[in-house]
């Protein structure tokens, strides 16, 4: 009997605590918009989040940046997100197929560039140069969007490249270049622009073969409610477009 009571107490206590906590936060505290966004959006969205908070007193924006596929999995598994911005339509489809989000809209495009150390010591001018066996090249793994794009772009150039590593995401790929462990890496233009320096980008015409569309959608049953719509609208507004363009994204005309 005592055991049963104790178990009940254990089970009920956290529920009571939670019950006390959350509504109060809703009443007097700030409302929070939780945005799940592709890692490549880290810089722009952090900037837009600050602007949004300044324009909407009482509303806070919280970000969860990561691999689009991982984020989509988390949302499908019930993670409490309000807005989802993915780095490609396929990962967004995971979420819309589960009827968890409203209609997505493409708000940005990104294309690949060859990242090389500053001054381009190896004199790389195009994708075919990467086939040189003396060069160490880092690519994204084909399972992640930047890797799928790299495969398509290299195929379009007819370049047979043997990379030394297939990294798990685009930031890790660029890091290997920044640390000087590889001589070239295929990453997004935005990543080259966002890198601290010591890296420059070489444009490749074949990049047009695999342009990444970035869709954004507000999730159904978004816990934040209306402010979630407002954040998505800010991203798609001219102001959001300006910030995206500054970061190296192409912004589709509405």
- What is the contact surface with other proteins in residues (CB under 8 A)? 2-3, 6-7, 10, 67, 69-70, 73, 136, 138, 141, 143-144, 163-168, 172, 176, 179-181
Nearer Cβ to other proteins (71/247): 71
Nearer Cβ to other proteins (175/237): 175
- Residue corresponding to tokens 């722009």: 44
Residue 115's beta-bridge partner residues? Answer: 185, 201
Nearer Cβ to other proteins (146/207): 146
Residue 118, both tokens: 């500053």
Instruction: Report the nearest approach of other proteins to the CB of residue 174 (Å).
Output: 13
Q: CA 236, 238, 242 angle in degrees (round to 5)?
A: 100
Instruction: Report the nearest approach of other proteins to the CB of residue 2 (Å).
Output: 7
Instruction: Report the nearest approach of other proteins to the CB of residue 7 (Å).
Output: 6
Nearer Cβ to other proteins (91/224): 91
Instruction: Report the nearest approach of other proteins to the CB of residue 163 (Å).
Output: 7
Q: CA 206, 211, 214 angle in degrees (round to 5)?
A: 165
Q: How far is CA 244 from CA 34, 74, 149, 235, 249, in A?
A: 20, 25, 20, 9, 5
Cβ–Cβ under 8 Å, residues 35 and 61: yes
């Amino acid at each position: 009997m005592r055991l049963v009571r104790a178990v009940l107490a254990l089970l009920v206590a956290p529920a009571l605590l939670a019950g006390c906590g959350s509504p109060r936060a809703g009443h007097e505290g700030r409302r929070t918009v939780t945005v799940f966004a592709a890692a490549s959006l880290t810089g722009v969205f952090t900037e837009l989040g600050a602007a949004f908070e300044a324009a909407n007193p009482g509303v806070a924006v919280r970000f969860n940046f990561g691999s689009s596929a991982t984020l989509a999995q988390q949302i499908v598994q019930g993670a409490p997100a309000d807005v989802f911005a993915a780095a490609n339509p396929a990962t967004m489809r995971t979420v819309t197929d589960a009827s968890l989000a409203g209609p997505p809209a493409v708000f940005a495009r990104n294309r690949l560039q060859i990242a090389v150390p500053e001054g381009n010591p190896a004199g790389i001018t195009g994708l075919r140069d990467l086939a040189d066996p003396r060069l160490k090249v880092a690519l994204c793994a084909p399972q992640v969007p930047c890797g799928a794009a790299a495969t398509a772009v290299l195929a379009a150039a007819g370049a047979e490249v043997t990379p030394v590593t297939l990294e798990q995401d685009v930031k890790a790929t660029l890091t290997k270049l920044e640390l000087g462990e590889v001589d070239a890496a295929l990453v997004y233009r935005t990543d080259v622009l966002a890198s601290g320096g010591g890296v420059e980008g070489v444009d490749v015409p074949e990049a047009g073969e695999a342009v990444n569309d970035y869709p954004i959608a507000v999730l159904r049953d978004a816990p934040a409610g209306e402010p979630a719509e407002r954040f998505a609208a800010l991203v798609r507004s001219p102001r959001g477009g300006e910030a995206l363009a500054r970061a190296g994204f192409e912004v589709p005309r509405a």
